[in-house]
Amino acid sequence: MSSVPDRSEVDEEYTWNLESIYATDDDWEAAYEAVSERVDELARYEGQTIDDAETLLTVLELRDEVMRDVSTVAAYARMRRDEDTTDQHYQALTARAQSLASEAQSASSFIDPELQELTREEFEEMVEAVPDLETYDHYVDDVLRMKPHTRSAEVEELLAELSEVTGASGDVYNMLSNADMEFPAVEDSDGESIKITQSNVTNLLKRTDRDFRRRVYEAYFDEWEAMRNTVATAYKNSVKADVKLAGVRDYDSAREAALDGPNVPVSVYDTLVDSVHDNLEKLHHHAELKREALDVDELRMWDLYMPLTGDEGPDVDYDRATEYVVDSLEPLGETYQSRVAEGLNSRWVDVYENEGKQSGAYSGGTYDTQPFILMNYQDDISSMYTLAHELGHSMHSELAKDEQPFVYSGYEIFVAEVASTVNEALLTNHLLETVDDDEFRTHVLNEFLERVRSTLYRQTLFAEFEHETHRLEEAGEPLTADRLDDLYRGLKAEYYEPAVVDDRIAREWMRIPHFYRAFYVYQYATGISAALALVDRILEEGETAAEDYLTFLRRGSREYPLDLLRIAGVDMSTSEPIDRALATYGERLEELAELLE
C-alpha cells in the first residue's frame, strides 16, 4: 500500500486556495470564452499599431489586458492539473489554455515589428500627444534596441515558422532522456532493488553506502554511453542552429545573441568565469573535506554528492520551518516579514505530496491572483530551504505587481534567482545565529555549501563548456562525441582537482537538458553571486541596504537587469559581487570544518 495520501486526505489548511481565482470550473469556462473573443479583437489591429498615438495606446493596453486574462486562465488550469497529473479533465483544460496562449501570442506578434518602424523621436512625439504612452517608454526602448537584429517581415515569419525545426534537437533529446531511456535497478545493502531514474539519481548518490553509490554511478553513466553518438549528434545540431540563427540576426556570436535579449554584455559572462577560476581553491578545499569526512584515500566522482555530515539530517516539520523562515526575514523589515507570514496563513502553499501530484516545487500565480507555491514537503532541512526559496520568488512577484503596470510585472531570468537566494542566505544566517545544536548547525552549513557548490561553481563549469562548444562550431571545427567528452573531462578535472576524474564523468555533459537552451545556465551563477553579496550588504548596513533591495524587487522589469541590480547595491559588470559571494562560501566552509573537528 502506498504511503502517499490521496489528495482528499490532505487537510485543507495545507493546500493552496485556487478557489480564490475561480470559484468553480464553470467560472473558468466563462473567463476562457471571454478572453478568446478579445484575442480576436486584438488581431484586428494588425497594420494599424502606429497609425496615431491614440491607436498605439489602445493596442498596447488591449494586448496587456488580453495577456493578463490569458495568464490567469492558464495558471488555474495548470495548477489544477498539478494537483493530480492523472486527472484527464484538468489535462484537457491545460491543453486548451496552452492553445489559447499560443493564439494570443500569434495575434499580438505584429506589434513589435510595427513599432520598429518608429524612430525614438517619433515615439516621443506620440508621448507628447498622449502622455499615458509614457508608461511604455522602457518597453518601446527595448523593442527599438533590437531593430538592428530584426529581419524583414518575410524572414521573421519564416524564422517563426521554422522555430519547431530549429528547436528539434532539444525535442529529440527530451524524448530520448525522459521517455525512451531506461536505467537499470541497483540492489542496496538491504537487498532492495532500486530502479535508477533521472529524478532520483542525485539522491541515490547521497546514500551513505559507498559501494552502492559506485554501482549507481556506473550503471547510470553506462546507460548514457549507449546513447553517446545519438546525444552528441543532437547537441551538435543544437549548437549549429544557435550559431546559424545568430548569423541570420547579424550577431558576431551565438553567445552575443543570447545575452543581448536581456541586454547583458558578454563581459559579464567572462568576468564570472574568471572570478570562479580565481577561487577554485575553495572548491578544492570543499572536495578535500569530503574526502576526509568519508575517510577514503581518493575522492571519486560517486562521492561528490555526499553531504559532509554523512547521514540524514534532523527532522524539521512544516510548521516549524515556517517559523524559522519568517523569523529569518527580519532584516528585510516588518512589512515584508508580516506579508510572508500572512501569505503562509492564507493558503499560498500546497504543502504535502499526494497521489499524482506534480513533483518538485515552484512559485506560481499571476498579476491578478495571490501567489501560489507548489511543494512536496519532506520534513527536512532541504525542504525548509526550498520553501524559503519559493517564497522569495513569490514576494518578488508580489512587490513588483504592487508597484508596476502589467507590462513590467515580470522579470528577466538574470535577476529571477536573486530574491529566492537572498531568502536562503538570510535563513542560513538566522539559523546559525539562533540554533545552538551543533549537529543541526552542521546540516545547515552543509545545505548552504552544497547549494553554492551546485549553483555557482557547477553552473559556471557548464557555462564554460557551452561557450567553448559554440566557439568550436563558429570556428568550423567538428563537435564529435570524443571532442565533447575531452572538453568536459578537462573542465571537470580543473574544477575538482583533488578528485579522481574517470571516463564515465566525461559523459556528464550528456545529462544536462539546459544545454539545449544555450547560454542560460550562467544566470544561476550570477544570480546567487548577486544575492549573497546583497545579503552581506543588508546585514552590514541594515535598513538603508534593505530598502534598496526592496526597491529593486518593486521595479519588476522597468529597467534592464544590470541597472536593476545597481539599484539594489550590486554591480554585476564587475567581479566584486562574485568575489564577495565566493568569500562567504569560503568562510562558511571553514565554519563547517571547525564543527566537524
Please tell me the number of Cα atoms within 13 Å of 379 on its side-chain side. Answer: 4
Size (the chain), residues = 597
Rounded to a whole number of angstroms, the distance between the first and last alpha carbons of the chain is 43
> Could you give the count of Cα atoms lying within 13 Å of 167 in the half-sphere of its Cβ?
13
3-state secondary structure of 363: strand
Is 591 known to be catalytic? no
Structural contact between residues 406 and 69, judged by C-beta atoms closer than 8 angstroms: no
The residue assigned the cell 518575410 is: 154
**Catalytic position from the list 83, 114, 353, 390:** 390
CB 556 within 8 A of CB 449: no
**DSSP character string of 181-213:** --PPEEE-TTS-EEE--TTTHHHHTT-S-HHHH
Calpha distance 559→568 (Å, rounded): 12
* Nearest C-alpha neighbor of 232 from the set 518, 480, 516, 483: 480
Of 511, 560, 490, 503, nearest in space to 197 by CA: 511
* Residue 187, Cβ density class (10 Å: 0-12 exposed, 13-18 middle, ≥19 buried): exposed
User: Nine-digit cell at 95?
Assistant: 491543453
Residues 457, 463, 467, 469, CA torsion sign: positive
Give the contacts of 453 (CB within 8 A, at least 6 positions apart). Answer: 283, 286, 585
Q: How many CA atoms lie within 13 A of 48 on its CB side?
A: 12
Closest to 525 measured CA to CA, from 465, 435, 568, 592: 465
Cell numbers found for residue 349 = 502553499
Q: What is the DSSP letter of 424?
A: H
Cβ count near 561 (within 10 Å): 24
Residue pair 52/61 in contact by the 8 Å Cβ criterion? no
Q: Which three cell numbers stand for residue 480?
A: 564529435
Task: Establish how many alpha carbons lie within 13 A of residue 202's alpha carbon, considering only the half-sphere containing its beta carbon.
Answer: 9
Helices (H) and strands (E) in the chain, counts: 26, 7
Please report which residue ranges of 496-575 form alpha helices under DSSP H. 522-541, 543-554, 561-568
Positions annotated as catalytic residues are 390
